[in-house]
Each structure stands twice: as C-alpha cells, then as structure tokens.
Amino acid sequence: MLEPLQFFIVIVIISALSGILGALTGLGGATFLVPIYTLYLGIPIVYASGASLISTIATSSGAASAYIKDRITNIRIGMGLEIATTSGSIVGSLTTAYIYSHNLQFIIYIVFGIVLLSQVFIQISKSKYELPKAVKPDWTTKVFGLYGKYYDTALKMEVEYIGIRWWLGEIIMFFAGFISGLLGIGSGALKVLGMDWAMNLPMKVSTTTSNFMIGVTAATGSSIYWLFGYIQPFLAAGTAIGVLIGAYIGTKILVRITNKAIRYIFTAILVFLGIQMIMRGMGFGF
C-alpha cells in the first residue's frame, strides 16, 4: 500500500492527466478518472465517483469564469435546461445511493463502460460543421427566447443563431443529469448532444453552455453524495487540485494542437477503459 504522501502525489498526477485529456477531448476529466481510480488504484467506486463529481464543479466554475468574457455562453438557454439537469441529477444520485446500499455496484461499472463506449461514437461522428443548418423557428423559439449572437474569432464574423425544440432539449438534459448523478461525471457529451443535435445550436454555444451547466448539475449531485458519505476528503481534495491544474494546462495546449491523430489515441483510451469497466462489472478479474 502507498504511503499517504505518495498516495496524494499519485492522485494529483492522475487527476491532472485526466484533466488535460478531459480539456483536450471536451469530455471533462471525470470520464477518465473514475475508471483509472477504480481499475488501477483499488479505490471503491463510491469514493471515485464522489471525488470526480466534486472535481467537475472545479473545472466548470474555473472555465465558466473565463468563457463569460467571450459572451458565447447562452445563460438563458443554459438556465432553462438546468431545470431538467438538476432534477435528473437528484433522481440519479438517489438511484446511486440505492444501488450502493444494496451492493449492486456491478450495475455502475457496466453503465459506466457503456457510457465510455458511446462517447467513442460521439467522438468519431462529431459534427464537422461549425455552424448548424438554418432552420425555421418553432413555438418554443419565441416562448423561451432561444436566440442569440456571438462574435466568432475563428470565422471572423458575428454569428446569429436560433434554437428550436426546447422540449426535446429538456428530455435529453434530464437524462444527462441522471447519468451525472448516477456515475459522478459531468456528462458534458450528452449535454452538448442535447443542444447541438436536438436544439440546433452552434457547436461553440453548445460546448460553453454545457460547461456552464455542468457545475450546477454537479453541485446538486454532490450535496446528495455528501449526505450518503461518498465524499472522501483526502481523495476529493487531491482530485480537485489535480483536475484544476490539468484543465489549466489542457486549455493552454488546446490552442496549439488540433491533431487528428491525437483524437484517435484518446478514442483508443476510451475503448480500452470502457471494455475494462464492463468486464469488471461482469465479474472478470481486475
């Protein structure tokens, strides 16, 4: 067993690496953290999820304070969808509490594995277009004020956009919140899917708004995790610090590289961890 100081350093390094990977892939650090903690460090999945959920608040709040300056995040759309994510998170966290108290952890491993593998699909089929196709506004566009504009520095133009199908966005967001509470991750990929695919918002708006939402969703889940004793202070402390460092480094690297090869390596890591999580859930080794 590791000495306390060694253990702490290992936690900080692993979460910093996860934070870098998370920032580069846009998946958030938690996606990599929970599998690495449970598969290789012998940390119970309850504590791993608790620490990772807390760490997503750190990255979300840290990044959101920077994004607010750019005025790309659509606070109205984000806040409207938070109704569904926070509700979903409450249901998800309580489901998790039921699962752990009945020793059904294998379900969490399997669901986590499936979520990891489904991320692979989302990573590969990532929309190639920066801007969505023009659509006709529907009744929700007007009622919920689903429009906005931002200045795109890459395209060097002011982008005006409208959102549609608010209700479909809400349904997907409830599910995203549920997964976040269930697994202790930010479930940013699902949130982006809800805004990008269902509501037809530009990619930049979806990702920054999703990042803003993750903090509020995770805060809801964390308080329930806290109540049930899933927050292990030593682990959560090291993880929060590590992920913050990692996310900071990650965003600095991000502006320099957008290499396709790197995306394939990340995808391979996702497949590897996903299969291991499922196998562990089914009772094979590890």
Can you tell me whether residue 150 is helix, strand or coil? Answer: strand
> Is the sign of the CA dihedral 260, 255, 244, 222 positive or negative?
negative
Size of the site for other proteins (CB under 8 A): 63
Which residue's CB is nearer to other proteins, number 16 or number 122? 16
Phi, psi of 180 (to 5 degrees): -60, -45
CA separation for the pair 164, 170 (Å, rounded): 11
User: Using CB under 8 A, which of 13, 44, 110, 138 touches other proteins?
Assistant: 44
CA separation for the pair 81, 217 (Å, rounded): 10
Which residue's CB is nearer to other proteins, number 38 or number 207? 38
Residues 2-21 that bind other proteins (CB under 8 A): 4-5, 7-8
User: Using CB under 8 A, which of 35, 222, 250, 276 touches other proteins?
Assistant: 222
> Is the sign of the CA dihedral 122, 124, 128, 134 positive or negative?
negative
CB 111 within 8 A of CB 274: no
Site string for other proteins, 53-92 (x = CB under 8 A): -x--xx-xxx-xxx-xx-x---xx--xx-xx--xx-xx--
- 């429009």: which residue's tokens? 147
CB of 51 to other proteins, least distance (A): 10
Q: Which residues bind other proteins (CB under 8 A)?
A: 1, 4-5, 7-8, 41-44, 47, 50, 54, 57-58, 60-62, 64-66, 68-69, 71, 75-76, 79-80, 82-83, 86-87, 89-90, 93, 143-145, 215-216, 218-238, 240-241, 244
